[in-house]
Structure 1
């Protein structure tokens, strides 16, 4: 456009426009414009020669520079994107792992609940079993003999002596037998009858063993050897009258032999404090009187020992005591009768015979 056309169009001349732009640029304080300073600093790095060719190529250089910067920026962001893609992949993997863990936890929680329910069920079953065990143990303790009690009742050997514990076990057997009535009243007839039968067998076996032991003891007993266990045994044998009678008969027979032997020794041997009674045969009254005195001395002792043997018996055994004393004293009747008859047949003095009859 020519200057005339420019003037006709009302526009300022070109020189004025350029002048104004330059003035505006010059008026700016570049040292306070940080962006302009940074741009000029950056421009100085690749615009090294101020030539016409360089000024003409400035725009293209800036564009290439900008393109290179953008390419570098793009390359840098590409690496960032790849890193972010990797991170996203890792996040997805973590998310998948979290989901898997959630599913696993849910499954584990369900299994745990099931296990807890099973554990609770097992605990309840265990508590029931423990209760049943305590009930069974208590039942066996009340209605059965322990191994130790069984050994005590039957003995390790046939000839094992009776001890005080034997009677405690025998009492336990009788108590169990009596307690079976409670089972009968509670409706457990089968168990009660079985236990009663078992306790009856135990009791019979125990009394049989007690009978053998007591009989053996009475067979060999001396006057002062009646112990408390034998006395207790006689009291228990009262429950079996036949066995009780056998023991009394055995004791009576044994004591009869002892009394006869003692009487014969007194007649023929004497003692450290007395001469043989036979040495008084020349004096009929004293002879017969000493024999009766000796018998009168030993028979009360025998009765006292016999009463001691049965002192714990709570039934009326008067008749058996009388029969036993008859058996014990019967042994001395024959030697006494022979000697008395001999004196009576050989003595003619009526005064002596009268005095003898009044003994």
Structure 2
């Protein structure tokens, strides 16, 4: 830094040719005399002024001077250069001394490096010799390590293979030995064995299939033993299983789900179960009937049905109610046992059917095995369980049906059996054709209906004598009234059972009008055979009796019978609508006959029959017909006056006399309607006669050939002889 500072303090000399600065006191030379001499002061000032104070070296020199704290004096300026040079020399000497020490260190380092090189060479020669001596050993060791790694890898693969594809002795024992329990360990090993057999399909995909075949063969044998063990265990559990206990052991359900994978064993197990349950339910039903068990032990806690039932209908109803309760309980218990847990039994059964070899061979070329219906299988199993009790039930109810001699009771029995047949059909499935219970209900209902028809025909046969005599008051005969009372009881019974059946199906059907009409038609069709047996023969007997009576008594008698029948059937129109329609049609027909009879009575008793007969066919708009009126016999003055007199005598009591003819008609409203219809027709015909007579008088007044009458032999007009008007007739007959 001293040398640098010195350089900075050496001001450069000013060039004599340099232009003076703005502060130079020199006088510019004249143009003709150039300035050859230099003023020292001017040159010094010029040199100072030309120095650039922006130079970095100059600034550093000034900063160095400031650090030294040198005063600006003449002596200092003279000694400054010397001091600086001395410092530079001292600094250089120091540097040379330091470099000497560095050189000594470098020489020592070089000696060390030479020694290290020599040692390295010696070690290298030793290492090379050692490497040449151990290379064979190292290669052998490397080969052994590689073999060791391969062996370890194979050991790991073998271990993994054994763990995945081979069952241990303990696992085989748990799976096959009957002395080992059927617990969670058993099912875990069973699942592992099934997985091994499935995974063996992968091994069979390689060229060498021996290992896969051997493992699959051994695993299949173990699985067969396991399923046999499970099958025997389930059979043993079924012997002590209590279905009445809501908490059925979960291990049994689990075992059944697993056993379902072997459909043959599962079906055999179900057969064993069904036989056991059939015997148990049969014994329970016998105990409920008699209060004594099958072994002869008296159970005082049970009230026997045979002693509690007071009549055949109650007896049959109690037996059917017990059968229904037992069937419902059995179905609920079996649902928990066989269909719970997501329908796993159905899935296992389907899988087992698809995997059975003989089934695959049988189904080859077909679409595949049929789908397993768990609900249908459950219904079939419940039907088999209650089949023993159903046979006892059928025997007892057959005895009740055959011993009964009452018609109403026979029908109530048939209706009760029909209701329970419908109930059991919904409970066990309508398509369960093999169900002994459903077949029994169907046969019993048919037998009860046959007994009902037989009793009804016997009753009708005993009434044949009563069909010959018509009551004096033309009212419904006693046998018809008894038959209608009987029919009313039958219809009330049928309606009760119909309401019960409908209430169970309402939630599953659409309440639209169309479906309601279809339901009514079905009910009507179902009840028609009952009406044909319990109603039609009696009404037919009344109709035959009416044919042997003269008119209008025949129509009055049969109308009374029809009215009584209609009033009985009307409250049950839901299933008697067709028969009511036929009754209304017959009522209308016989009402028309009575109306015709009343009309004939009015015409004959009013003495207007000849007049109506003569003038009725004539047309009021035909001049020809009007000209004929005066020449007709009934319109002659004497005959017309007699008809008028007869009409006047008849009119005061005409309505009362007409109603008297229908005094035996038990429906007063119908009697009035029939009479009003006849009087209306009578008034219409009278109006026609009146119009013709008026037209005839008008024509006569004009003369037959259009000339005025001379009045010589004037005869009274037709209206004068027959003065009654239609208005008067209507008032008197109203």
Aligned to 1:246: 268
Deviations 1:133-169 (A, max 9, x none): 11111110111112332122113xx254311221221
**Quick one: which of 332, 342, 345 aligns to 2:389?**
332
* RMSD after superposition: 2.8
What is the deviation of 1:219? 3.5
Task: Note if 1:352 corresponds to 2:409.
Answer: yes
Deviations 1:284-339 (A, max 9, x none): 11111111101100112212222333222123145543432232111012321222
> Per the alignment, do residues 296 and 309 of structure 1 end up closer, same or farther by CA in structure 2, a change over 3 Å counting?
same
Task: Note if 1:175 corresponds to 2:176.
Answer: no
1:267, 1:278 within 8 Å by CA — same for their partners in 2?
A: yes
- Tell me how far apart the structure 1 counterparts of residues 179 and 401 of structure 2 sit (CA, whole Å): 51
2:171, 2:189 within 8 Å by CA — same for their partners in 1?
A: yes
**TM-score (normalised: structure 1):** 0.62
- Tell me how far apart the structure 2 counterparts of residues 266 and 159 of structure 1 sit (CA, whole Å): 41
1:278, 1:287 within 8 Å by CA — same for their partners in 2?
A: yes
> Per the alignment, do residues 299 and 160 of structure 1 end up closer, same or farther by CA in structure 2, a change over 3 Å counting?
farther
Aligned to 1:220: 240
**TM-score (normalised: structure 2):** 0.32
**Structure with higher RCO (Cα < 8 A, 6+ apart):** 1
- Tell me how far apart the structure 2 counterparts of residues 134 and 115 of structure 1 sit (CA, whole Å): 28
Task: Note if 1:258 corresponds to 2:280.
Answer: yes
What is the deviation of 1:249? 0.6
Aligned to 1:132: 154
- Tell me how far apart the structure 2 counterparts of residues 130 and 221 of structure 1 sit (CA, whole Å): 53
**Quick one: which of 282, 289, 293 aligns to 2:321?**
293
> Per the alignment, do residues 169 and 339 of structure 1 end up closer, same or farther by CA in structure 2, a change over 3 Å counting?
same
| Structure 1: gaps (5+ residues) | 1-105
Aligned to 1:190: 210
Aligned to 1:20: none
- Tell me how far apart the structure 2 counterparts of residues 160 and 323 of structure 1 sit (CA, whole Å): 34
| Structure 2: gaps (5+ residues) | 1-128, 293-298, 351-371, 417-734
> Per the alignment, do residues 159 and 287 of structure 1 end up closer, same or farther by CA in structure 2, a change over 3 Å counting?
farther
Task: Note if 1:144 corresponds to 2:166.
Answer: yes
Aligned to 1:29: none
Aligned to 1:41: none
What is the deviation of 1:347? 2.9
Summarize the alignment of residues 74-113 of structure 1 with structure 2, pairs less than 5 Å apart.
none
- Tell me how far apart the structure 2 counterparts of residues 222 and 254 of structure 1 sit (CA, whole Å): 12
The structure with more helix, counted as a fraction of residues: 1
- Tell me how far apart the structure 1 counterparts of residues 387 and 289 of structure 2 sit (CA, whole Å): 17
What is the deviation of 1:113? 7.3
1:266, 1:277 within 8 Å by CA — same for their partners in 2?
A: yes
- Tell me how far apart the structure 2 counterparts of residues 338 and 298 of structure 1 sit (CA, whole Å): 18
- Tell me how far apart the structure 1 counterparts of residues 210 and 258 of structure 2 sit (CA, whole Å): 29
Task: Note if 1:163 corresponds to 2:183.
Answer: yes
- Tell me how far apart the structure 1 counterparts of residues 384 and 378 of structure 2 sit (CA, whole Å): 10
The SS at the match of 1:358 is helix
Count of residue pairs the alignment pairs up: 250
Task: Note if 1:282 corresponds to 2:310.
Answer: yes
> Per the alignment, do residues 159 and 147 of structure 1 end up closer, same or farther by CA in structure 2, a change over 3 Å counting?
closer
The SS at the match of 2:405 is coil
What is the deviation of 1:116? 6.2
**Quick one: which of 230, 237, 240 aligns to 1:210?**
230
